[in-house]
Structure 1
Amino acid sequence: MASAKSILDQILHRYTLHRDSPTSTKDKLHGAAFLVVDKSGPIYAGAAGHTSLPINASTPAFSTDSFLWVASLTKLLTTICLMQLVQQGKLHLDEDVREKLPELTKWGILRGFEEEEKKGEEQGKKAILEEITKPITARQLLTHSVGLSYDLGHPLLERWAKEVGKKGNTNSMTVEGWTTPLLFSPGEGWVYGTGLDWAGVLLERMTTTTTTTTLGRYMRENIFAPLGMECSTLKPATELLENPEKRIKDKLVRMALRDAKTGELSLGELPISTAWDPKAESGGAGLWTTAEEYGKVLAAVLRAASGSEEGERELGLTKETVDQMFSPQLNEKGLEMIKEMGRAFHAGIMPEFPEGFDAVDHGLGGLLNMEDVEGKRRKGSMMWHGYCNSHWWIDRETGIGACLLVEQFPFADPVVIQLYDDLERAVYGELVPEWKKITAAVV
């Protein structure tokens, strides 16, 4: 009978490209790494494929130590940083932070556009901007309930940006680029956007004293160093210059692009070119890391969730604080909007759940499933994913967490979604029973 490890290895191998693979790259990935942890560390670590295209004798193998941009997987770490401040009493989740983040009130709330007659010109449209009168809080920033959306692809925000002559956009990785109107009054809905970027800015402004604190420096001192995450960074270009011994470029995974018509892969560039050397360190999408190192974060959260002294010491979070992170945060309007988004863009919001599954909420750090997912994670688990198709989940009830790291574009890649589903089902069908037997025998 095959072991759980061999089954997971086979799944990864089946979905990835190898030197002896057929010429076609359709329905394949150039490489992937998958890690499953409990509170003590990895219980499975595997990788398959290669770090670049085309694959030949000199193309490095993809490993759990391969270095790549994980985009929105950053959000969990930024949340941990803010919750450290909450636990220390330096920040209250429901305090008004508008004074610390005055940029958020610059444009107000965009309610739409009104027709405006212009003599001798074609009829134009003028933005309807309403003053923000309600508090903006850290809780809203961390749960996407503040009203901030990414502007690219959003017709109202793109029209507004054109009207005001805005330079840059939310992908520019600058404070100016993140500065947009809200789409609704703070706390009165849910929309995915730059809330975590602003949470990072808030942290920087709250922790800067005589010397400037950047989000990356704070993460280095309060997450990366305590957990032994040597390669993880928000500014790889700077890291490469200052710490060449880490050889991150040798471990770098190149971006693969899938052709929408043929399904074939080709080598491409980062969809956000500024991610390699950003002007501002993004709390929403700035992290570069490895599967091994991201797994250390998931394991540390599980340790903190168990109430262990080690977990509290490493992450600076008590069990009660972690419990708060995993508690549902959205009000009725927020729930209505996140479920509507899940129905409209299922593959982009909650692809690991069956179509029609809407027992969801949002915690502090990620999306929560409020019911068991058959054959997969248990109720109360938290998850999220990134622009280039990496994923993670933490299942406190079972006692495991996992991450799948890939460098694949466009977002919501169907091959990654199917791979992730196969891996998770094998985790719960094969690995968890095997792991439980081993841990029971040790006890």
Structure 2
Amino acid sequence: MRAGAVDRAVQDAVDDGIPGIIAGVTGVDGIQHLVARGRRSADDAEPLDVDGIIALYSATKQVTATAALQCIEDGLFELDTPVTQILPEIERVGVLESIDEDATPHTRPPRTPITVRDLLLHTSGFGYDMFDERLALLARSRPRTATPLRDSLFQPLLHDPGERWTYGMSMDWLGLVIAAVREQRLEDVLRTRIFEPCGMTDTSFDMPPERVARLVPVHRRRSDGSLRPSSALPPETPEVDMGGQGLFGTVADYLAFLRLWLGNGAAPGGRVLRPETLAWATQAAPGVTVHPFASAIPALTRPVDLFPGRAKSWAISLLRLEEDLPGRRRAGSLSWAGLANVHFWVDRSSGIAAVWSAQLLPWFDDAAARGLDAFERAVYS
């Protein structure tokens, strides 16, 4: 890697219209390069710093998956444990069969129970409204309640558990499973078992006042192409810790987390995962096929086909690439992203992991897609 090439790639993405980008590369032994370019917000000239706190969105999922693997190691549940044994309320969720004109859903009981494995592999049947028109319709018609996040967990399944891969709210339910078996708030589980061993001092579901000043606002692309920063602030303490979203942290912290998956599960503060756990968790899950994403809410996501034409599979909550990309990551690399274009990958063959964050919607915005591609090529230059 040439640091100058990485810096130029990040600056080029800012010059392409992204307000600010934080990006970093790490090896097993520590950060190799960390850079911030651009402004904290499109509305002011304050420069973006590398210690800016970003919304991780679905990059939260792999942290939750790690906590679930720890539960398996500790014998608290198994991959094929039915979730109803831990959270009986999940029985309220049925498989969607039809929707009336007034947005009343009709469901049936699932033919097979949802298991922990289903939640980890996204084969439970839970989807996301941003990718599915039916769920988007139900979300728009859902009555306002005092607990909107928790209520959103009870959306219907799009198919029977185990039938196929569908990306959605599985990891949010898994976060509730972990909290139940540990008899703790998910925040506390992650802090004591992952954040503290890894030295991740800036990652949390909570947003107390002292963290707000470092928060990087998420920008939305308007229909005219301009960008608008969000003025909304996350609550000091969330209604519920959602295991599939909701963490805030720094790029440096997330690189520290990725070193667990890059290496053998050890951290400066002690072992987080056993090497044998990592060995099977990073392999392709048999029979799981990753499909392209449609866009039911264009403000949040574009249609996305990840690595079209390339052989790929699914590991524990991560996309696995099954062939080398010339000038880029190697076969066996693991990756995923957060909605606001927070992208990361772990290339165990090359001994590097990386994070690229734009805090920009929609997912795979054209400028973000170009910037991410250029960053990756610079990392391997």
For residues 167 and 249 of structure 1, the distance between their equivalents in structure 2, rounded to whole angstroms, comes to 27
1:129 aligned counterpart, secondary structure: strand
Instruction: Choose the corresponding residue for 1:97, options 77, 80, 83.
Output: 83
- 1:28 equivalenced with 2:23 (yes/no): no
Change (3 A) 1:173 1:39: farther
What is the letter of the counterpart of residue 14 of structure 1? D
1:11 aligned counterpart, secondary structure: helix
Deviation at 1:382, TM superposition (A): 0.8
For residues 356 and 312 of structure 2, the distance between their equivalents in structure 1, rounded to whole angstroms, comes to 21
Tell me which residue corresponds to 1:243: none
What is the letter of the counterpart of residue 13 of structure 2? Y
- 1:44 equivalenced with 2:37 (yes/no): no
For residues 202 and 419 of structure 1, the distance between their equivalents in structure 2, rounded to whole angstroms, comes to 37
Tell me which residue corresponds to 1:198: 173
1:416 aligned counterpart, secondary structure: helix
Instruction: Say if 1:369 and 1:379, in contact at 8 Å, map to a contact too.
Output: yes
Tell me which residue corresponds to 1:22: none
Deviation at 1:300, TM superposition (A): 2.4
Instruction: Say if 2:60 and 2:244, in contact at 8 Å, map to a contact too.
Output: yes
Tell me which residue corresponds to 1:284: 244
Higher alpha-carbon deviation: 41-50 or 95-104? 95-104
In structure 1, the gaps of 5 or more residues are: 18-26, 115-122, 241-246, 430-443
- 1:227 equivalenced with 2:213 (yes/no): no
TM-score, with structure 1 as normaliser = 0.78
Instruction: Say if 1:301 and 1:311, in contact at 8 Å, map to a contact too.
Output: no
Deviation at 1:10, TM superposition (A): 1.5
1:72 aligned counterpart, secondary structure: helix
2:77 aligned counterpart, secondary structure: coil
For residues 103 and 341 of structure 2, the distance between their equivalents in structure 1, rounded to whole angstroms, comes to 37
Tell me which residue corresponds to 2:351: 399
- 1:155 equivalenced with 2:133 (yes/no): yes
What is the letter of the counterpart of residue 93 of structure 1? L
Deviations 1:111-136 (A, max 9, x none): 2247xxxxxxxx87864422124121
Deviation at 1:256, TM superposition (A): 2.1
Higher alpha-carbon deviation: 147-156 or 374-383? 147-156
Change (3 A) 1:99 1:88: closer
More helix by share: 1
Deviation at 1:218, TM superposition (A): 0.7
For residues 356 and 313 of structure 2, the distance between their equivalents in structure 1, rounded to whole angstroms, comes to 22
Instruction: Say if 1:173 and 1:280, in contact at 8 Å, map to a contact too.
Output: no
For residues 356 and 131 of structure 2, the distance between their equivalents in structure 1, rounded to whole angstroms, comes to 26
Tell me which residue corresponds to 2:151: 176
Deviations 1:181-213 (A, max 9, x none): 1111111011111100000000011111xxxx1
What is the letter of the counterpart of residue 45 of structure 1? L
Tell me which residue corresponds to 2:2: 4
Deviations 1:3-52 (A, max 9, x none): 811111122122226xxxxxxxxx31111111111110111111111212
Tell me which residue corresponds to 2:221: 258
Change (3 A) 1:31 1:152: closer
TM-score, with structure 2 as normaliser = 0.90
Instruction: Choose the corresponding residue for 2:309, options 322, 336, 356.
Output: 356
For residues 250 and 103 of structure 1, the distance between their equivalents in structure 2, rounded to whole angstroms, comes to 39
For residues 134 and 348 of structure 1, the distance between their equivalents in structure 2, rounded to whole angstroms, comes to 30
Change (3 A) 1:160 1:388: closer
What is the letter of the counterpart of residue 85 of structure 2? E
Tell me which residue corresponds to 2:66: 80
1:33 aligned counterpart, secondary structure: strand
Higher alpha-carbon deviation: 76-85 or 128-137? 128-137
Query: What fraction of aligned residue pairs are identical, expressed as a percent?
Result: 27
2:380 aligned counterpart, secondary structure: helix
Higher alpha-carbon Rg: 1
What value does the CA root-mean-square deviation take over the aligned residues?
A: 2.8
Deviation at 1:77, TM superposition (A): 0.3
Tell me which residue corresponds to 2:282: 326
Change (3 A) 1:127 1:16: closer
2:215 aligned counterpart, secondary structure: coil
- 1:143 equivalenced with 2:121 (yes/no): yes
What is the letter of the counterpart of residue 408 of structure 1? L
Deviation at 1:71, TM superposition (A): 0.5
- 1:299 equivalenced with 2:262 (yes/no): no
Instruction: Say if 1:109 and 1:132, in contact at 8 Å, map to a contact too.
Output: yes
How many residues align? The count is: 378
What is the letter of the counterpart of residue 198 of structure 1? W
Instruction: Say if 1:145 and 1:190, in contact at 8 Å, map to a contact too.
Output: yes
Instruction: Choose the corresponding residue for 2:50, options 61, 64, 78.
Output: 64
Tell me which residue corresponds to 1:108: 94
Tell me which residue corresponds to 1:408: 360
Change (3 A) 1:421 1:131: same
Instruction: Choose the corresponding residue for 1:339, options 291, 295, 301.
Output: 291
2:37 aligned counterpart, secondary structure: strand
For residues 249 and 313 of structure 1, the distance between their equivalents in structure 2, rounded to whole angstroms, comes to 27
Instruction: Say if 1:30 and 1:49, in contact at 8 Å, map to a contact too.
Output: yes
